[in-house]
Amino acid sequence: MAALTDAAADATRLPAAAPDGADARLIAGRGTPEPDWLRAAWLRALPEAAPDALLGDARRLVVVAPHPDDEVLGAGGLMALAAARGLPVRVLALTDGERCYPTLPGAARASLARIRRVELHRALERLGVASGGVEHLRLPDGGLQAAGAALALRIHRLLQPRDLVLTTWRRDGHPDHEAAAAAVADAAGRAGCRRMEFPVWGWHWAHPDGRDLPVADMRRLPLDRPTRARKLWALRAFASQLGRGSAMPAAAEPILPRWVLARFRRDFETFVL
Ligand SMILES: [Zn+2]
């Protein structure tokens, strides 16, 4: 099938030094500190792309998010810039991220799912994205690998020609993020849509010298001050991930502690073409 061929072709574009073992993409501890990334010469030297160059002739920007917050973390700036240009922005929220605190019992998980849906709507409002821009697929958090081809079919049904489709990076290290990327590659390929990916957990486990990242295919989108401010305001909507509010267990660490959030407070975003 064409989608498999696309995926295989894309995989060969990864640098030869990219690790193949899952262990190399382990998400543990505090990960690569943000100051190491900011000192990385290759990251500073990435080719810059203006918003209009990235958006091209797209009629809609569609962001496929494995969990609510991935879209703002990786692409909140570009979403705000697209919305400011009058481009319709849509989010496909694949899961509600209800298993982010594994010790939560079932009833509390259902409540967390509701809270995370509300947080996502608030965040999108803060980016300037029109209400009604979200489709919640309510797939099980942690279950996207198992969804397989059905996930690509569901995404494909929601795409239109001339959509620009964004999702998490195909080697991001989180199984849901990698499944989302594979499904988007399949769906967008068949719909004839252009697509781009953004690292989220990749910034956590990858080496700051760039050996693990597809550097040759990455572009840097500078965020002006108002756009960055909008993105930071939108990120503050995810209280359940930041350790605020009543939705997380008392003893749990927030999913987005200060050292993780630092990677998404940059005055630029990076996209894999
Ligand atoms: Zn995620």
For 141-186, the pLDDT digits (tens) are 999 999 989 999 999 999 999 999 999 999 999 999 999 999 999 9
Alpha-carbon gap, residue 232 to 76, rounded angstroms: 9
Helix (H) or strand (E) holding 252: none
Cα 27 to ligand 1 centroid, rounded to whole Å: 12
Residues with CB under 5 A from ligand 1 (ion): 66-67, 70
pLDDT (0 to 100) of residue 103: 76
Over the chain, what is the mean pLDDT?
A: 88
pLDDT given for residue 26 in this prediction: 82
Percent of the chain whose pLDDT exceeds 70: 89
Q: Could you tell me the two tokens for 213?
A: 């990242």
Q: How far is the CA of 142 from the centre of ligand 1 (A)?
A: 10
pLDDT at 202 over 70: yes
Residue 208 host element (H or E): none
Residue 256 has pLDDT above 90, yes or no: no
Task: Tell which residue, 271, 234, 230, has the closest CA to residue 53.
Answer: 271
Whether 9 shows a pLDDT value over 50: the answer reads no
CATH code, residues 6-272 = 3.40.50.10320
Q: Report CA(229)–ligand 1 centroid distance (Å).
A: 22
Output the pLDDT for position 23: 53
> How many angstroms does the Cα of residue 68 sit away from the middle of ligand 1?
7
Angle, helices 70-84 vs 225-235, to 10°: value is 140
Distance CA 159, CA 179 (A): 18
> Of the ranges 108-112, 114-118, 220-224, 244-248, which one carries the lowest mean pLDDT score?
244-248
What are the boundaries of each domain within the chain? 6-272
Ligand 1 centroid distance, CA of 70 (Å): 5
- Averaged over 184-202, what is the pLDDT? 97
Distance 15 CA to ligand 1 centre (A): 24
Tell me, in angstroms, the distance from the centre of ligand 1 to residue 67's CA: 4
For ligand 1, the distance from its centroid to the CA atom of residue 3, given in whole angstroms, is 23
User: Over 50: is that where the pLDDT of 15 sits?
Assistant: no
How much is the pLDDT for 248?
65
Q: What is the pLDDT of residues 57-113, one digit of tens each?
A: 999 999 999 999 999 999 999 999 999 999 999 999 999 998 888 778 778 888 889
Written as one letter, the residue type at 31 is: G
